[in-house]
Amino acid sequence: MSKIKNDLFLRALKGETVERPPVWMMRQAGRYLPEFIAIREKYDFFTRCRTPELASEITVQPIRRFGMDAAILFSDILVIPQAMNIEVQMKEGIGPWLPNPIRSQKDVDNVIVPDVTVELKYVMDAIKVTKQMLDNEVPLIGFAGSPWTILCYCVQGQGSKTFDKAKEFCFTQPIAAHRLLQKITDTTIAYLKEKVKAGVDVVQLFDSWGGMLSPVDYQEFSWKYINQIIEALKDDAPVIAFGKGCWFALEEMSKSNAAALGVDWTITPQMARKLTGNKITLQGNFDPVRLLSPPKVIKQMVKEMIDDFGKDKYIVNLGHGILPHVPLENAKAFIDAVKEYNQ
């Protein structure tokens, strides 16, 4: 493999001393960019995911425009359940829609652990095309949802503010729930290993709905499966674990072999450092809605955020995905503030 020209992101993941922290944004490949919207008007969501030329173009768009320090492959966490014999649609105005949610042991028995090299070959093809397009300028991140977050959609059948049906399934049918979580975990490990083989430099696990669980239930139904994935991947590529609303688990998470932990905006940088004993790289945690503040305010806040986290063992990011209606100049102000940073 040729050397990546801008390896700032990889060095920060190793905890090396850097001149400034690297920056990228969750959901940077997507809906706030006019060049993305032009593609979206022609192709539906899963067509974009499944067509390597489209997925790679969308992945590279924000790098061309803003020059982030890492690209993240355009895809979706729900390609995993699709490969596992679970129907997933993307409905306008609703989002993910699963017509046959999983509610029983029998439903779990019908879920397969697929051959990812066949069922998800389109993702690997997209990685290869993207790597060519990036031409070793910046590292490429591949990602997956956490098993718990995938279970939430599979059982609930759609997005939710509470994921009450998903939790009920875990609490009333724990054997079936753990069986499903293990099948998702096994598939995810195989999937991420293939992604690394195809060329991604780093993998990130998104536990978007981890914060729905109590600290005790989080350990049982989410963290132990995330940790299995980290253990399986740690020798293949650096793993970033991001649990939204999961600050209560940071101390436990920092004992793992994750290369970095993502944090959201509900915790101060100082508290996140304290809980993790300042021994692991942290990523985050700008409130995405704050990108609607004036550019001048954004720049000031980003500078303060870096000062608070410290420039080393730190990756500047949002605390969740960028919103569709963020003005381009505001996104640019966020990236520029990091590039202009010097203490």
Measuring CA to CA, how many Å separate 209 from each of 20, 35, 164, 167?
A: 31, 30, 12, 11
Region 56-80: mean pLDDT is 98
Domain boundaries, position 90: 8-260+268-275
Q: What is the DSSP letter of 23?
A: B
Q: Is 46 left (phi over 0), alpha (psi -120 to 50) or beta?
A: alpha
Q: Is 46 annotated as a binding residue?
A: yes
- Chain segment 75-88, per-residue pLDDT in tens: 999 999 999 999 99
Q: Is 29 annotated as a binding residue?
A: yes
**Residue 99 belongs to a domain:** yes
DSSP sequence for 183-221 = HHHHHHHHHHHHHHHHT-SEEEEEETTGGGS-HHHHIII
Question: What's the total number of domains in the chain?
Answer: 1
Which among 139, 129, 133, 95 is positioned nearest to 6, based on CA atoms?
A: 139
How high is the pLDDT of residue 342? 86
Q: Which residues of 244-266 are buried (b: 16+ CB within 10 A; e: fewer)?
A: bbbbbbbeebbebebbbbbbbbe
d(CA 75, CA 31): 13
Q: Is 64 annotated as a binding residue?
A: no
How high is the pLDDT of residue 276? 98
d(CA 165, CA 169): 6
How high is the pLDDT of residue 1? 57
Q: What is the DSSP letter of 223?
A: I
Q: What is the percent of the chain with per-residue pLDDT over 90, rounded to a whole number? A: 98
Average pLDDT, the chain: 97
323: pLDDT strictly greater than 60: yes
Region 180-207: mean pLDDT is 98
**Residue 174 belongs to a domain:** yes
Amino acid at 203: V
Q: Specify the DSSP element, H or E, that contains 66.
A: helix 52-66
Q: Is 7 annotated as a binding residue?
A: no
Q: Is 107 annotated as a binding residue?
A: no
What residues act catalytically?
27, 31, 40, 76, 153
Q: How far is CA 40 from the centre of its chain?
A: 21
Q: Is 314 helix (H, G, I), strand (E, B) or coil?
A: strand
Region 117-143: mean pLDDT is 98
**Residue 287 belongs to a domain:** no
**Residue 319 belongs to a domain:** no
How high is the pLDDT of residue 66? 98
- Exposed (0-12), middle (13-18) or buried (19+): which is 317, by Cβ within 10 Å? buried
DSSP sequence for 117-182 = HHHTHHHHHHHHHHHHHHTTSS-EEEEEE-HHHHHHHHHHSB--SS-HHHHHHHHH-HHHHHHHHH
How high is the pLDDT of residue 341? 97
Q: What is the DSSP letter of 84?
A: T
Q: What is the percent of the chain with per-residue pLDDT over 70, rounded to a whole number? A: 99
Q: For residue 274, give every residue at least 6 positions away whose Cβ sits within 8 Å of its Cβ, in sequence order, or none.
A: none
Q: Is 319 annotated as a binding residue?
A: no
10: pLDDT strictly greater than 70: yes
**Residue 331 belongs to a domain:** no
- Exposed (0-12), middle (13-18) or buried (19+): which is 167, by Cβ within 10 Å? buried
- Chain segment 240-298, per-residue pLDDT in tens: 999 999 999 999 999 999 999 999 999 999 999 999 999 999 999 999 999 999 999 99
How high is the pLDDT of residue 2? 74
**Domain containing 178 — which CATH number?**
3.20.20.210
**Residue 284 belongs to a domain:** no
Q: Is 314 annotated as a binding residue?
A: no
d(CA 110, CA 107): 5
Residue the block writes with tokens 């083989």:
197
**Residue 297 belongs to a domain:** no
**Residue 311 belongs to a domain:** no
